[in-house]
């Protein structure tokens, strides 16, 4: 299975870093870097013979493709590649690749899907949706303890519906950095009464924020219509349970676990590493029977990421749209904004709205937020401009 995704409009420094990672020699980097000014698509997992064919086809079409130096003598098992060209050049190249060996027909399909998904998500007619956060926990980082009584939580959910929420995400276990896990029984006691009551009083779909198969099943039985899984379907039995329930699921990336995820998160390349995670988890989900149309991906802002990782995810969020799945972003009032603004969670609204505007422009399909009405104003404004 190939990984092919459109890259954001990167600086020459970042393009140079990618070319070095691929294994290009320095003279080649000097020649190719200035050419990387059109549509960039990065792919990996190519047979070196296939990589050489792709490079020649791009050169013939007037584009460029950077491959590892060792592809020339076929001394590496797999090659990465950075393709550079206009949309029409990609169209010419992919038509030729469909007739070539080494699974290049599949690569052509991945390239075309990536381009269509990338442009479709950014300039499509459907506006980004709002997922309102409703934590019925005593210890969430921003609203912990505010809605830990059923009547208060239901009242908040109804208020979010009136403000324009498209989804209400109910969570019974905090996953903030350093948080401890709770039992299934305690989680059920927190969320099920709220879901049952709120589902009878609102028309907005309810999402259950959980990684546990039993909680997901009981929540859907109580009226939830979606699952938001911060562990990315890694809990035993969760992929099969989602397939059985046949509901949309958010597959989120997290490095480590909430208790220790912020101790020292490290990545070779944060975007590539998260992309590889999505490819693997999506394959697991589909093998378990999860339908393609039920998959949503979330790069997991603040979940095992340093400040620079979070900023790069936001800057290059549009790259994740190349997977052709809706992209959810949850950055609302998180600690990375506190690091930038030097403000506590209750003073981070404007920073959150700035991120929301950038996320919409970069093709996000869903924003998970604490402040529904304010974010909806941002979405409507940015969507009108786009």
Q: Are 114 and 350 in contact (CB under 8 A)?
A: no
Q: Where are the domains of the chain?
A: 3-123, 129-385
For 66-106, what is each residue's pLDDT tens digit? 999 999 999 999 999 999 998 889 999 999 999 999 999 99
| Beta bridge partner(s), residue 295 | 249
Give me the DSSP letters along 169-210. EEESS--STTPPP--HHHHHHHHHHHHHHHHTT--S-EEEE-
- Write down the number of H helices and E strands in the chain: 14, 12
* In contact, 211 and 236? CB cutoff 8 Å: no
Are the C-beta atoms of residues 38 and 84 closer than 8 Å to each other? Answer: yes
Rounded mean pLDDT of the chain?
91
Taking only the tens place, the pLDDT of each residue in 300-353 is 999 999 999 999 999 999 999 988 899 999 999 999 999 999 999 999 999 999
* From 33-37, 57-61, 173-177, the region with the lowest mean pLDDT: 33-37
**How far is the C-alpha of 13 from the C-alpha of 10, rounded, in Å?**
8
Active-site choice (176, 334, 348, 362): 334
- Look up 368 and say whether it is catalytic: yes
Concerning whether 334 is annotated as a catalytic residue, the answer is: yes
- pTM assigned to the model: 0.84
Q: How far apart are CA 289 and CA 303, in angstroms?
A: 27
Question: Measured between alpha carbons, how far is 22 from 36 in angstroms, rounded to an integer?
Answer: 15
**Which of the given ranges, 15-24, 39-48, 208-217, has the highest pLDDT on average?**
208-217
Whether domain 129-385 has CATH 3.10.20.520: the reply is no
**What's the CA gap between 363 and 346, in Å, rounded?**
27
| Both tokens assigned to 161 | 């519906």
């Amino acid at each position: 299975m190939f990984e092919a995704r459109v890259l954001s409009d990167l600086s020459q420094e970042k393009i140079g870093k990618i070319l070095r990672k691929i294994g290009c020699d320095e003279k080649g980097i000097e020649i190719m870097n200035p050419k990387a000014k059109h549509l960039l698509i990065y792919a990996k997992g190519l047979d070196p013979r296939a990589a050489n064919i792709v490079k020649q086809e791009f050169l013939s079409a007037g584009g460029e493709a950077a491959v590892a130096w060792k592809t020339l003598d076929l001394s590496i098992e797999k090659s990465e590649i950075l393709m550079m060209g206009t949309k029409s050049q990609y169209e010419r190249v992919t038509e030729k690749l469909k007739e070539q060996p080494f699974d290049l027909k599949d690569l052509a399909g991945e390239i075309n899907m990536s381009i269509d998904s990338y442009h479709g998500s950014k300039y499509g007619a459907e506006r980004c949706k709002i997922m309102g956060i409703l934590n019925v926990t005593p210890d969430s980082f921003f609203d912990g303890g505010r809605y830990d009584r059923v009547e208060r939580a239901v009242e908040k959910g109804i208020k979010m519906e009136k403000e324009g929420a498209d989804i209400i995400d109910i969570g019974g276990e905090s996953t903030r950095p350093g948080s401890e896990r709770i039992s299934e029984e305690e989680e059920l006691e927190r969320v099920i009464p709220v879901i049952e009551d709120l589902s009878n009083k609102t028309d907005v779909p309810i999402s259950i924020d959980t990684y546990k198969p039993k909680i997901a099943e009981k929540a859907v039985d109580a009226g939830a219509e979606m699952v938001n899984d911060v562990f990315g379907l890694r809990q035993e039995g969760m992929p099969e349970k989602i397939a059985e329930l046949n509901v949309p699921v958010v597959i989120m990336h997290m490095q480590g676990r909430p208790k220790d995820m912020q101790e020292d998160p490290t990545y070779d390349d944060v975007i590539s590493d998260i992309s590889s995670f999505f490819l693997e988890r999506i394959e697991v989900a589909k093998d378990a029977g999860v339908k393609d149309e039920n998959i949503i991906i979330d790069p997991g802002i603040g979940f095992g990421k340093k400040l620079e990782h979070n900023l790069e995810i936001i800057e290059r969020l549009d790259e994740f749209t190349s997977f052709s799945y809706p992209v959810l972003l949850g950055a609302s009032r998180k600690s990375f904004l506190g690091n930038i603004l030097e403000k506590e969670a209750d003073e981070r609204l404007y920073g959150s709205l700035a991120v929301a505007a950038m996320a919409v422009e970069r093709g996000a399909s869903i924003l998970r937020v604490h402040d529904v009405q304010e974010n909806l104003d941002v979405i409507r404004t940015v969507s009108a401009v786009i």
